[in-house]
């Protein structure tokens, strides 16, 4: 790793370590969710980004790790199978074991067939879980309590935050170390050309299975951290929405880089924390972000750093900053127009507003963004269209300007 990358990572860890000293309890809880999501996305990326095997059912191993940890917390009349700081090991072990069984079937095939098998196995578990009440607690789920250990009572969010932080950093560090081992190199070989690996004498199925087990193990570890935080688990953890969430997070961050999925997962978790209390349409916005990232930044948000390093020798820092600032401003203008459309339509299509229309000749004004807007007035729809047009034209202008600079540098 480059020295600057090592320094950046150390500074990030230090910033995460002192974060609880300066933020509210709610933000500490949000930080816990961000760390868990980052570890889960990193575990998923071992399989999808490095191994080239896209799983649509990774919530299964995450959920199994969560339930295994809850049962371990309840063992021995609530005393716990292990000391509280060590309980995530249980989730990792059971995540790995479940990954061994499911992976043996899944890795018999590759490509879309592999993806469909992982989806089918996860959906099978989701369908069976409500009926296996002794394991998953049925509709009510299973609850537990964190027990004091090693001089900590683990009753506050700050104690849980530092526990999750330690395991997240350790888990991501181990995953990075694995990428530098022969297994990690073989993992990349699977993605690039599995037929060549087979020609060289490697057992491709065995390599795929090992990669799958590693990914499932650390997914189970992430699930265990969720159990430590929530002190409860419900079978909804096996729902396909969680599997889809980790796919979106990883691709938004960028599966082409090791830390990309972790950054993407943390960013989208924070986005959900900020926006979910403001609007019911936050999942729609998340989907829109995913679509536009895939269209205009297919290698993910983390690619901005690679782009900077690639062009910093040929362009001044001021030019690069100006270009990024212009794209950010254009994206903001576009986003304002889209949010206006989505939120305004949500208001006028709401049942409460529709009930007001009974017996009225025209639609009443809507108070939105501090102004009164008439749904029947042309200006109501022209304003957001102008924002969208300004954002689109701004991005197109910047792209042409950048291409012109590139040609000048080549000449």
Non-local (6+) Cβ contacts of 70 within 8 A are 142, 143, 144, 227, 231, 232, 233
Q: Residue 406 pLDDT more than 90? A: no
Is 180 in the same domain as 66?
yes
Is 243 in the same domain as 339?
no
Q: Residue 358 pLDDT more than 80? A: no
Q: Residue 389 pLDDT more than 60? A: yes
User: Exposed e or buried b for every residue in 360-396, given b needs 16+ CB within 10 A?
Assistant: eeeeeebeeeeeebebeeeebeebbeebbebbeebbe
Token pair listed for 314 = 């040929």
Q: For the residues 8-31, what does the mean pLDDT come to?
A: 87
How many domains in the chain? 2
CA dist 346 and 276 (Å) reads 15
Check which CATH number belongs to the domain holding 270 and give it: 1.10.3470
Identify the top-confidence range among 64-68, 147-151, 327-331. Answer: 64-68
Segment (H or E) for 149:
none
Is 261 in the same domain as 327?
no
Max Cα-Cα span within the chain: 78
Length of the chain: 411
Q: What is the pLDDT of residues 113-137, one digit of tens each?
A: 999 999 999 999 998 988 888 888 8
Q: Residue 410 pLDDT more than 70? A: no
Is 260 in the same domain as 389?
no
Q: Which pLDDT score is estimated for 167?
A: 95
Q: What is the pLDDT of residues 250-299, one digit of tens each?
A: 998 888 888 889 999 998 998 888 888 888 888 888 888 888 888 877 78
Which of 253, 268, 297 terminates a domain? The answer is 297
Q: Which pLDDT score is estimated for 411?
A: 58
Is 115 in the same domain as 203?
yes
Q: For the residues 29-34, what does the mean pLDDT come to?
A: 92
Query: Which structural domain range is residue 267 located in?
Result: 14-297
Task: Say what percent of the chain tops pLDDT 70.
Answer: 98
Is 137 in the same domain as 264?
yes
φ and ψ at residue 278, rounded to 5 degrees: -95, -40
In this structure, are residues 394 and 336 in contact, taking their beta carbons and an 8 Å threshold?
no
Is 256 in the same domain as 357?
no
Which of 265, 297, 329 terminates a domain? The answer is 297
Token pair listed for 195 = 């037929």
Q: For the residues 315-325, what does the mean pLDDT come to?
A: 82
Q: What is the pLDDT of residues 32-87, one digit of tens each?
A: 999 999 999 999 999 988 888 888 989 999 999 999 999 999 888 778 788 889 99
Q: Which pLDDT score is estimated for 380?
A: 86
Is 346 in the same domain as 237?
no
Q: Residue 409 pLDDT more than 70? A: no
Non-local (6+) Cβ contacts of 242 within 8 A are 59, 62, 63
Domain-embedded: residue 205:
yes
Domain-embedded: residue 92:
yes
Is 292 in the same domain as 318?
no
Task: Say what percent of the chain tops pLDDT 90.
Answer: 28
E strands, 102-220, in order: 142-143
Is 66 in the same domain as 20?
yes
Which of 105, 5, 365, 62 lies closest to 242, judged by CA?
62
Which of 263, 297, 331 terminates a domain? The answer is 297
Residue with tokens 């979106």: 248
Q: Residue 162 CB: number of other CB atoms within 10 A?
A: 18
φ and ψ at residue 213, rounded to 5 degrees: -65, -40
Q: Residue 327 pLDDT more than 80? A: yes
Q: What is the pLDDT of residues 162-206, one digit of tens each?
A: 999 999 999 999 999 998 888 888 888 888 777 788 888 788 888
The dihedral sign for the CA sequence 237, 243, 334, 345: negative
Is 266 in the same domain as 357?
no
CA dist 257 and 131 (Å) reads 40
CA dist 185 and 128 (Å) reads 37
Is 118 in the same domain as 239?
yes
């Amino acid at each position: 790793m480059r020295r600057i990358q090592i320094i950046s990572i150390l500074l990030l860890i230090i910033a995460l370590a002192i974060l609880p000293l300066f933020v509210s309890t709610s933000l500490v809880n949000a930080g816990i969710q961000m760390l868990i999501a980052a570890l889960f996305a990193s575990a998923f990326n071992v399989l999808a980004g490095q191994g080239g095997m896209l799983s649509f059912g990774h919530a299964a191993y995450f959920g199994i790790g969560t339930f295994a940890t809850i049962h371990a917390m309840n063992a021995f009349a609530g005393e716990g199978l292990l000391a509280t700081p060590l309980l995530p090991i249980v989730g990792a072990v059971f995540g790995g074991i479940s990954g061994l069984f499911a992976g043996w079937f899944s890795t018999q095939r590759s490509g879309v067939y592999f993806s469909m098998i992982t989806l089918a196995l996860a959906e099978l578990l989701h369908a069976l879980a409500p009926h296996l009440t002794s394991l998953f607690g049925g509709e009510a789920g299973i609850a537990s309590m964190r027990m004091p250990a090693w001089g900590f009572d683990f009753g506050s969010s700050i104690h849980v935050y530092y526990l999750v932080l330690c395991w997240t950093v350790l888990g991501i560090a181990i995953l990075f170390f694995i990428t530098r081992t022969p297994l990690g190199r073989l993992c990349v070989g699977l993605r690039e050309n599995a037929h060549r690996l087979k020609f060289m004498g490697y057992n491709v199925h065995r390599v795929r299975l090992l990669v799958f087990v590693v990914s499932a193990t650390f997914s189970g570890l992430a699930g265990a951290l969720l159990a430590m935080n929530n002190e409860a688990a419900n079978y909804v953890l096996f729902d396909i929405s969680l599997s889809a969430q980790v796919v979106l997070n990883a691709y938004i961050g960028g599966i082409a880089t090791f830390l990309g999925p972790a950054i993407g997962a943390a960013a989208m978790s924070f986005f959900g924390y900020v926006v979910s209390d403001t609007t019911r349409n936050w999942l729609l916005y998340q989907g829109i972000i995913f679509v536009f990232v895939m269209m205009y930044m297919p290698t993910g948000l983390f690619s901005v750093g690679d782009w900077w390093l690639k062009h910093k020798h040929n362009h001044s820092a001021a030019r690069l900053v100006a270009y990024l600032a212009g794209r950010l401003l254009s994206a903001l203008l576009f986003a304002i127009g889209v949010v206006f459309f989505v939120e305004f339509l949500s208001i006028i299509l709401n049942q409460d507003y529709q009930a007001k229309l009974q017996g009225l000749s025209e639609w009443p004004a809507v108070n939105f963004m501090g102004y009164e807007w008439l749904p029947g007035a042309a200006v109501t729809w022209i304003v957001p269209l102008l924002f969208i047009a300004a954002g689109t034209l701004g991005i197109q202008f910047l792209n042409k300007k950048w291409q012109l600079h590139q040609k000048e540098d080549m000449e």
